[in-house]
Structure 1
Amino acid sequence: MNLKTLRLHNFRNYKRFEINFSKNINLIIADNAKGKTNLLEAIYLLSTGKSFKTSNLSELIHHEKTFFFIEAEFEKNSITESIKIYYDLKQKKVLHNSTNYPSLSSVLGIMPSILLHPDDISLIKGRPQNRRTFLNLFLAQKDPLYVHHYLRYLKALKNKNFLLKTKNFKNLKYYENELIKSGSYIIKQRKDLLKNLEKNLKNSIFELSSLKIDSNLKYISTIDYENDIEDSFQKILQKNFLKERNFKTSLFGPHRDDFQIIFNDKSVKYFASEGQKKLLLFALKYSEYFLLKESLNFSPLFLIDDFDSHLDRNHKMNVLKEFSKFNQVFLTTPNLEEIENTNIIRL
């Protein structure tokens, strides 16, 4: 897949802007606060329906305007397609080719991407929510059924928590059955994903650093199960009804799960150096890219914001050599990098 053209209207600091991209590496160079990250943000929004900088989409509107409109033209499997998002304070519109979609989440899987952003270090040393988001976004871009189960799970979770808070247990069983069905699917898909990422991670670390490091990804679930996730989920909810009633919230399920990154038999979060954490983050994203490519049978976009901040010089040179394996990469940097086969974009 290749992103050919991006158009912005009243988006962030851009009133009207159009840019064409090339295959391979697109190096976006500008001083700080000149809008280079905003280009990646627009691509990411068209890809996932979310901004990586804010949850309030009104912040994306140019300060003098009341709406924004963004559009991408891209080629996938030799067919040219388009994706458009319009947003104002009253409505959101998504248009893929000639089809209207009801929500921003509808864009998932249309123009998939992998993002590496300086704040992504929270995936290594931040809260469990950051790691759950990582898993959810990957799976949502390749599996429409995962999106279905995830949204159904969130709806049932909200309703169950309302019943627990109001001490109205009349329909509790119904919502728990919804949680069990969709939650079990979510847990299985997450565990399978981590197994596949783990297989690729050691090779990714070696290719990026020439280091042979034993690395593992361990899923940590609130549902203690061996084979049948649904049965174990049901038994845990039954056993802990009084506990959840007293706490007035749902304490068990994939919304409470996490995964641990193990580096030479030790938790990366607590024992790895800052340099090791950055290397592992890049290796995770590297593995994620190729696993998503394998799942989709075409290449997603790879977006790297503030390229200079992620690795030291030696590791960065190894990464630059690896970029030849990627179909299309977007880098932002304040400095000119010596990279072969590069489309240099100066803002």
Structure 2
Amino acid sequence: MRLIQLSLKAFRNYDQQVIEFSPGINVFIGENAQGKTNLLEAIHTLALTKSHRTSHDRELIEFQAKEAYVKGYVETKNDRLPLSLYLGSKGKIACVNHLQQARLSQYIGHLTVILFAPEDLSLVKGSPNLRRNFLDREIGQLNPLYLHHSVQYKQLLKQRNAYLKALHRGQQRDRIYLQVLSDQLSESGAYLIAERQKFIGRLEKLANRLHGLLSGNREDLSLSYVPSLSMKDKTEDLGQLRECLIQTMASGEEKDIERETTTVGPHRDDFSTCINGKNCQLYGSQGQQRSAVLSLKLAEIELAKALTGDYPLLLLDDVLSELDDRRQTFLLKTIQDKVQTFLTTTSLAGINQKLIQRPTIYRIEEGKIKDGVCQIDE
């Protein structure tokens, strides 16, 4: 998979810009606050219909403009098609091959991207919410049904929490409606848990192999899904998971009413990363945690290829400067000649240029490509 062309109109600090990309490594270079990350954000938004930096679409629209457009031409092994996304007073309008999609879940997946930014280095040691968002974002790109259940689950969870609050405050007395919400929530919740467990299992096999190469076969990496459900044995059976969710919510009903929130379900789940059997979050060094995250990100790329038949795009947002020479070398050698890559940096000085073969350079200044495209001399 590759992005051939990107067109922007009133997106962030880009008034109007059309950019054609090479199939290899594309480098956006410039000072801070000039628009390098905005280009990566535009690609991410084109793929997932939302930014990785803000949840407010208005922030994506150029100052004093009322609407923004992001368009791209995508080439896969089977097809070549235009994608477009409108942001404005009409909300979001997503089109595939000039046809408006009835739901965003029907649009997402036509362009697959893996983002690796400095904040991702805290994926292992950071909060559970960071890891849940990671799972939802990556699985949602590869599985439209997961995305559908994820949206439905969040809507039902909001309704159930609102009803719990009303019950706690004496504004409602009908427990039957609470049971109805619990039943509906359990159906989508069971699907999310099952798919997350499958994803973690697949990711672990790939990440462990990569981590072995990165560590010189001195370390073994393992992943484990940590559900909020109390189950004797882990299962991916939807019926069992749904029944377990229903029973757990029923037994914890009084506690949920008292706390005015749903205390069990995939919105409370997590996953752990272990190196040589020890929890990396608690006992891993900073170097081990960074290696684990790098292994996970590279495993994502391989898993996307295995599931879709195409390599995804890789977005590297000023992350190479955060990696030492060994990890930088491993990353660049692993993606070499396989993955179309978009990289932002203020300078090439901190990057091992010998490993970036024939990159295309875009010099960015004040939301414009100032001096066209150039190649680094080999």
Give the C-alpha shift of residue 66 in structure 1. Answer: 2.2
Residue matched to 1:345: 362
Residue matched to 1:184: 190
Q: Do 1:197 and 1:291's aligned partners in 2 also have CA atoms closer than 8 Å?
A: yes
Distance 1:207 1:326, change over 3 A: farther
Q: Do 1:152 and 1:178's aligned partners in 2 also have CA atoms closer than 8 Å?
A: no
Report the Cα distance in structure 1 between the residues aligned to 2:280 and 2:74, rounded to whole angstroms. 38
Report the Cα distance in structure 1 between the residues aligned to 2:105 and 2:148, rounded to whole angstroms. 11
Report the Cα distance in structure 2 between the residues aligned to 1:144 and 1:174, rounded to whole angstroms. 25
Residue matched to 2:152: 152
Give the C-alpha shift of residue 136 in structure 1. Answer: 0.8
Give the C-alpha shift of residue 124 in structure 1. Answer: 1.6
SS of the residue corresponding to residue 311 of structure 2 reads coil
Report the Cα distance in structure 2 between the residues aligned to 1:290 and 1:73, rounded to whole angstroms. 23
Amino acid in structure 2 at the alignment position of 1:346:
R
Instruction: Give CA-to-partner distance per residue, 1:299-344, whole Å, 9 cap, x none.
Output: 2111111033331012212322222252311111122341113222
Instruction: Give CA-to-partner distance per residue, 1:47-73, whole Å, 9 cap, x none.
Output: 111111111111112224222111111
SS of the residue corresponding to residue 236 of structure 1 reads helix
Q: Do 1:46 and 1:107's aligned partners in 2 also have CA atoms closer than 8 Å?
A: no
Instruction: Give CA-to-partner distance per residue, 1:273-299, whole Å, 9 cap, x none.
Output: 222222221111100111011111112
Give the C-alpha shift of residue 123 in structure 1. Answer: 1.6
Q: Do 2:211 and 2:221's aligned partners in 1 also have CA atoms closer than 8 Å?
A: no
Q: Do 1:114 and 1:301's aligned partners in 2 also have CA atoms closer than 8 Å?
A: yes
Distance 1:20 1:118, change over 3 A: same
TM-score (norm 1): 0.94
Identity across the alignment (%): 34
Q: Do 2:186 and 2:245's aligned partners in 1 also have CA atoms closer than 8 Å?
A: yes
Distance 1:211 1:89, change over 3 A: farther
Q: Does 1:264 align with 2:282?
A: no
Report the Cα distance in structure 2 between the residues aligned to 1:211 and 1:316, rounded to whole angstroms. 18
Residue matched to 2:131: 131
Amino acid in structure 1 at the alignment position of 2:304:
L
Instruction: Give CA-to-partner distance per residue, 1:202-246, whole Å, 9 cap, x none.
Output: 211233453431111111111122242122222212221221122
Give the C-alpha shift of residue 272 in structure 1. Answer: 2.1
Map 1:227-238 → 2, pairs under 5 A: 227=235, 228-238=240-250
Residue matched to 1:9: 9
Residue matched to 2:313: 301
Give the C-alpha shift of residue 185 in structure 1. Answer: 1.0
Distance 1:330 1:205, change over 3 A: same
Report the Cα distance in structure 1 between the residues aligned to 2:86 and 2:251, rounded to whole angstroms. 48
Amino acid in structure 1 at the alignment position of 2:331:
V
Structure 1: stretches of 5+ with no match in the other structure: none
Q: Do 2:298 and 2:331's aligned partners in 1 also have CA atoms closer than 8 Å?
A: no
Residue matched to 2:373: none
Amino acid in structure 2 at the alignment position of 1:345:
Y
Report the Cα distance in structure 2 between the residues aligned to 1:78 and 1:148, rounded to whole angstroms. 25
Aligned-pair Cα RMSD in Å: 1.7
Give the C-alpha shift of residue 106 in structure 1. Answer: 4.4
Residue matched to 2:287: 275
Residue matched to 1:47: 47
Report the Cα distance in structure 2 between the residues aligned to 1:119 and 1:99, rounded to whole angstroms. 35
Number of matched residues? 347
Residue matched to 2:19: 19
Q: Does 1:318 align with 2:330?
A: yes
SS of the residue corresponding to residue 172 of structure 1 reads helix
SS of the residue corresponding to residue 170 of structure 1 reads helix
Give the C-alpha shift of residue 346 in structure 1. Answer: 2.2
Residue matched to 2:342: 330
Residue matched to 1:58: 58
Map 1:106-145 → 2, pairs under 5 A: 106-145=106-145
Q: Do 1:205 and 1:212's aligned partners in 2 also have CA atoms closer than 8 Å?
A: no
Instruction: Give CA-to-partner distance per residue, 1:183-204, whole Å, 9 cap, x none.
Output: 1111111111111111111211
Between 46-55 and 326-335, the greater mean CA deviation after superposition:
326-335
Report the Cα distance in structure 1 between the residues aligned to 2:192 and 2:101, rounded to whole angstroms. 24
Amino acid in structure 2 at the alignment position of 1:234:
I
Report the Cα distance in structure 2 between the residues aligned to 1:188 and 1:268, rounded to whole angstroms. 24
Report the Cα distance in structure 2 between the residues aligned to 1:212 and 1:200, rounded to whole angstroms. 16
Q: Do 2:8 and 2:69's aligned partners in 1 also have CA atoms closer than 8 Å?
A: yes
Give the C-alpha shift of residue 31 in structure 1. Answer: 1.9
Q: Do 2:229 and 2:265's aligned partners in 1 also have CA atoms closer than 8 Å?
A: yes
1:195 to 183, 197, 201: 201
Report the Cα distance in structure 2 between the residues aligned to 1:212 and 1:341, rounded to whole angstroms. 33
Q: Does 1:165 align with 2:177?
A: no
